Amino acid sequence: MLITSLMRVLLTRSFKPFIFRNTYSNNLDYDNLKNLGLYVHIPFCRKICDFCPYCKVIYNEQLATQYREALLTEIKLVAAGHKKKQVTSLYFGGGSPALMINDLKIIIDCIKNYYDITDGIGVELHPDDIDEKILTTIKQAGVSMVSIGVQSFNTDCLNNLGRTQFNATEKIQFAKAAGFDVIDVDLIFAIPGQNEETLRTDIETAFRHGATQISTYPFIDFTFVNNKYKPMSEKRKRQMLHNITEFTKLAEKQRTSVWTFAKKETKKYSSVTRDNFLGFGVSATTLLKNEFKINTFSISAYIQRIEKLQLPTSLTLNFTKRQRACYYLFWSAYSMCLNKTDFQDMFGVPLKKMFGIELWFCEKIGFISNENNSYYLTDKGAYYYHYIEQAYTTAYIDKTWNISRVQDFPEKIIL
């Protein structure tokens, strides 16, 4: 896509593309990394939702047991030769992690043997998987944050996503009663057939029944999913995002990222913004100081690789310094804030020295404001980030995931 190619050239000062290669190492260099997070992917679902692009399969008990054993081995392989490391957080995504409810504590306990988790453990939950017993079980396992994939409370919107109706409000109330630090409710906006009123009702309903924050993601039509409907125009998406921003301001909620809005004075949580992270499980990604790694998307290939005591890395991108800085800026901007000290600590160069022209331009056109030691995205800047992120998803993520779905270990991907 033209916009992503142009931005890559301008920001990296190079025509060199991002090249993922089928290179492999059994050692991940993370000892000296700060703000390190952990991610675990559970790829099992009861039903495959048409709109969902993530790596997943229908739940099978025998396969899940094999997967658990491979996952535990991968954790031990990654930690081998390293001292116990302090990490910020642990997040379980999927798929539906609750389908391995009896294994979560085993996995968490294994991780705690090698990592000290300072800021909590989060788990994605499908509403169908939520009841009081499951919530009690994951709370006892150490989970402090839940993200509930409601998508919408409106029956027509759910039908257009290919989802069945469920009593989502009751499930959120169960989570509230269980006393989690964070109850995030995922909502999709710009769903075909959605309007401003149903969108406002979705937001109000989530907060009224116990959400401490909502994560609102635009409907994106990945090329390899089976959506019945095409997404709304970019003009309508822009209006929808503007409406979300206005609704939440009137409700006195705080914008904590481009797509996330939270109650004031509550703990915030995001599954995507980490300076560095280790990913465990099929399709999981790892971000280190100079590398980005993707595990194979094939469960069988993942298990076979682990049985050989080899990490299941499918692809590796070796960053140039400016490429890594661009990646850092992209996800820091998602959080609405670029901290100058954090950037210099990370790259050893002042933020303004590396990206002075771009920062000056963005400030002049009203995308960012320069306050104290940080640059903050304005609402205008957040909209254009939203637009660029969708272009990035289409040009980079869609292509990478589509290839990885059909090739266990691709030879090369050029972006």
Q: What is the pLDDT of residue 271?
A: 66
* Cα torsion 388, 362, 367, 329: sign: positive
* Bridge partners, 286 (sequence order): 293
Does pTM top 0.85 for this prediction? yes
CATH 1.10.10 assigned to 1-16+332-407: yes
7 pLDDT tier (thresholds 50, 70, 90): confident
Question: Is pLDDT of 113 > 70?
Answer: yes
> Which percentage of the chain shows pLDDT scores above 90?
82
H-helix or E-strand spanning residue 89: none
Q: What is the pLDDT of residue 162?
A: 84
CA-CA distance, 402 to 116, in Å (whole number)? 35
CA-CA distance, 327 to 4, in Å (whole number)? 13
CA-CA distance, 296 to 400, in Å (whole number)? 11
294-321: per-residue pLDDT in tens? 999 999 999 999 999 999 999 999 999 9
DSSP codes, 195-209: -HHHHHHHHHHHHHT
Question: Is pLDDT of 340 > 90?
Answer: yes
Question: Is pLDDT of 2 > 80?
Answer: no
- 407 against 11, higher pLDDT: 407
The amino acid that residue 7 corresponds to is: M
226 pLDDT tier (thresholds 50, 70, 90): confident
In the chain, where the domains are located: 1-16+332-407, 18-263
Q: What is the pLDDT of residue 395?
A: 87
Gyration radius of the chain over CA positions: 21
* Span 341-359, average pLDDT: 95
| 61-65, 273-277, 342-346: least confidently modelled range | 273-277
Q: What is the pLDDT of residue 353?
A: 96
Q: What is the pLDDT of residue 164?
A: 79
Chain position carrying tokens 């979300």: 244
Question: Is pLDDT of 270 > 80?
Answer: no
Q: What is the pLDDT of residue 1?
A: 64
CA-CA distance, 86 to 102, in Å (whole number)? 26
379-407: per-residue pLDDT in tens? 999 999 999 999 888 889 999 999 999 99
Residue 356, number of CB atoms within 10 A of its CB? 11
* Span 125-134, average pLDDT: 93
Report the CATH fold assignment for 18-263: TIM Barrel (3.20.20)
6 pLDDT tier (thresholds 50, 70, 90): confident
Q: What is the pLDDT of residue 232?
A: 87
38-93: per-residue pLDDT in tens? 999 999 999 888 889 999 999 999 999 999 999 999 999 999 999 999 999 999 99
Neighbour-count burial of 240, counting CB atoms closer than 10 A to its CB (0-12 exposed, 13-18 middle, 19+ buried)? buried
The mean pLDDT value of the chain amounts to 94
138-147: per-residue pLDDT in tens? 999 999 999 9
